[in-house]
Structure 1
Amino acid sequence: MFKYRIPSSEINQNASIGHGGYVGQRPLSNFQPERVMTFWQVLCFGVLTTPLAMAGLALVMFIPTFYATEMGLGFTAVGAIFVAGRLFDVITDPLVGYLSDETHSRFGPRKPWILLGVPAFCISAWMLLSPPDDASLLYLAIACALYFLAYTVLDVPYSSIGLEISPDFHERSILAGSKAAFQVIGAITAASIPFVLALPVAQSLGLIAKLVTILGAAGLLLFVLFVPDRIRTVTHPRIGLLSALKQIFASRPYRYLTASFLIVQTANSLTAGLTLLFVTHVIGAPDLIGLFMGLLFLATALFLPLWIWLSRRNGKKATWSVSILLCGVALAATFLLGPGDIIAFAAVCVLVGAAFGCDAIMPTSMLADIVYEGETEGRNRLAGLFLAFKNSASKLTFVVPMGLAFPALDLVGFDKTGSNGSEQLTTLVVFFAGLPILLRLIALSVLKAAPAANDDTPAVTDHGRPA
Structure 2
Amino acid sequence: MALSVGQKAGWGLADLGINVFVVVKQLLVFAYMTTYLGVPPAVAGVLTFSVLAFDVITDPLIGYLSDKTHSRFGRRYPWMFVGAVVQAVGIVGIFMVPDGMSWQANAAWVMAFFALATLGFTAVTIPYGAMAGEMTQDPQERSVMMAWRMGFASLGLLTAGAIVPALAGDTKAGYGMAVLYVAPVMILAIWLSILATRRAPRIATPTGLGLGQMLRLVLSNRRFTLLVVIYGVLTLGVALIAAGLQLSALYLIVKTGGALAGLAAALGVFAGLFAMFIVGSVLSQAVWVMMAGRFGKLQALVIGIIAYTGVLWAIYTQLPSTSFTVMAGLFVLAGFCNGAYQQLPWAMYPDLMDVTRDESGEAVEGAFAALWLFGQKVANALAPLVLGLVLSAYGFLESSEGVVTQTETALDALRWAVTLLPAAIMWLGILMLVLIYRPRARGVHDARAA
Quick one: which amino acid aligns to residue 91 of structure 1? Answer: I
Aligned-pair CA distance for 1:452 = 5.0
Aligned-pair CA distance for 1:317 = 0.3
Determine if contact 1:307/1:358 at 8 Å carries over to the other structure: yes
1:311-356: CA deviation from partner (whole Å, max 9, x where unpaired) = 1121100110111110011112234325435444333212221122
Quick one: which amino acid aligns to residue 310 of structure 1? Answer: M
Aligned-pair CA distance for 1:121 = 3.5
Quick one: which amino acid aligns to residue 222 of structure 2? Answer: R
Counterparts of 1:4-403 in structure 2 under 5 Å?
A: 36-62=2-28, 82-128=48-94, 142-194=112-164, 196-197=166-167, 202=173, 205-217=176-188, 219-232=190-203, 238-279=208-249, 282-285=252-255, 288-338=269-319, 339-340=321-322, 342-376=324-358, 379-403=361-385
**2:428 corresponding residue in structure 1:** 442
Determine if contact 1:194/1:201 at 8 Å carries over to the other structure: no
- The share of aligned pairs that are identical, in percent, is 21
In structure 1, C-alpha distance between the alignment counterparts of 2:387 and 2:109, rounded to whole Å = 31
Shift of the 55–277 alpha-carbon distance from structure 1 to 2, 3 Å rule, reads closer
Quick one: which amino acid aligns to residue 145 of structure 2? Answer: L
In structure 2, C-alpha distance between the alignment counterparts of 1:214 and 1:221, rounded to whole Å = 10
Determine if contact 2:51/2:381 at 8 Å carries over to the other structure: no
1:17-44: CA deviation from partner (whole Å, max 9, x where unpaired) = xxxxxxxxxxxxxxxxx6x212122222
Aligned-pair CA distance for 1:78 = 7.3
In structure 2, C-alpha distance between the alignment counterparts of 1:67 and 1:433, rounded to whole Å = 22
Q: Secondary structure at the match of 2:156?
A: helix
Quick one: which amino acid aligns to residue 57 of structure 1? Answer: V
Aligned-pair CA distance for 1:424 = 5.4
In structure 2, C-alpha distance between the alignment counterparts of 1:217 and 1:280, rounded to whole Å = 32
1:139-166: CA deviation from partner (whole Å, max 9, x where unpaired) = 6555343322222112211221023311
Higher relative contact order structure (alpha carbons within 8 Å, sequence separation ≥ 6): 1
Shift of the 157–340 alpha-carbon distance from structure 1 to 2, 3 Å rule, reads same
Aligned-pair CA distance for 1:278 = 4.3
Determine if contact 1:253/1:451 at 8 Å carries over to the other structure: no
Q: Secondary structure at the match of 2:361?
A: coil
1:356-399: CA deviation from partner (whole Å, max 9, x where unpaired) = 22111111110011112322287222222222122122122234
Aligned-pair CA distance for 1:274 = 2.8
* TM-score, normalised via structure 2 length: 0.81
Q: Secondary structure at the match of 2:362?
A: coil
Q: Secondary structure at the match of 2:242?
A: helix
Quick one: which amino acid aligns to residue 184 of structure 2? Answer: T
1:136-191: CA deviation from partner (whole Å, max 9, x where unpaired) = 76765553433222221122112210233112101112222222221221221233
Aligned-pair CA distance for 1:119 = 3.7
Quick one: which amino acid aligns to residue 163 of structure 1? Answer: G
Structure with higher Rg: it is: 1
Shift of the 129–280 alpha-carbon distance from structure 1 to 2, 3 Å rule, reads closer
Determine if contact 2:40/2:397 at 8 Å carries over to the other structure: no
In structure 1, C-alpha distance between the alignment counterparts of 2:20 and 2:83, rounded to whole Å = 16
Aligned-pair CA distance for 1:413 = 4.2
Q: Which has the higher helix share?
A: 2
Q: Secondary structure at the match of 2:201?
A: strand
Q: Secondary structure at the match of 2:437?
A: coil
Determine if contact 1:177/1:361 at 8 Å carries over to the other structure: yes
Q: Secondary structure at the match of 1:303?
A: helix
1:415-464: CA deviation from partner (whole Å, max 9, x where unpaired) = 6843544x65654444322222222222112111216569xxx9742234
Shift of the 288–102 alpha-carbon distance from structure 1 to 2, 3 Å rule, reads same
Determine if contact 1:176/1:364 at 8 Å carries over to the other structure: yes
1:46-88: CA deviation from partner (whole Å, max 9, x where unpaired) = 2222222224434555556667887x69568877664433321
In structure 2, C-alpha distance between the alignment counterparts of 1:204 and 1:412, rounded to whole Å = 28
In structure 1, C-alpha distance between the alignment counterparts of 2:165 and 2:252, rounded to whole Å = 24
Aligned length: 426
Aligned-pair CA distance for 1:306 = 1.0
**1:14 corresponding residue in structure 2:** none
Determine if contact 1:254/1:367 at 8 Å carries over to the other structure: yes
In structure 2, C-alpha distance between the alignment counterparts of 1:65 and 1:414, rounded to whole Å = 12
In structure 2, C-alpha distance between the alignment counterparts of 1:369 and 1:150, rounded to whole Å = 27
Quick one: which amino acid aligns to residue 428 of structure 2? Answer: I
Q: Please, which of 381, 395, 405 is the counterpart of residue 418 of structure 1?
A: 405
Determine if contact 1:51/1:211 at 8 Å carries over to the other structure: no
Task: Please report the RMSD computed on the Cα atoms of aligned residues, expressed in angstroms.
Answer: 3.5
**Which structure 2 residue ranges, 5 or more long, are not aligned?**
257-267, 399-403
In structure 2, C-alpha distance between the alignment counterparts of 1:280 and 1:69, rounded to whole Å = 10
In structure 2, C-alpha distance between the alignment counterparts of 1:234 and 1:378, rounded to whole Å = 15
**Which structure 1 residue ranges, 5 or more long, are not aligned?**
1-33
* TM-score, normalised via structure 1 length: 0.78
Determine if contact 1:234/1:380 at 8 Å carries over to the other structure: no
Aligned-pair CA distance for 1:97 = 1.0
**1:5 corresponding residue in structure 2:** none
Quick one: which amino acid aligns to residue 82 of structure 2? Answer: L
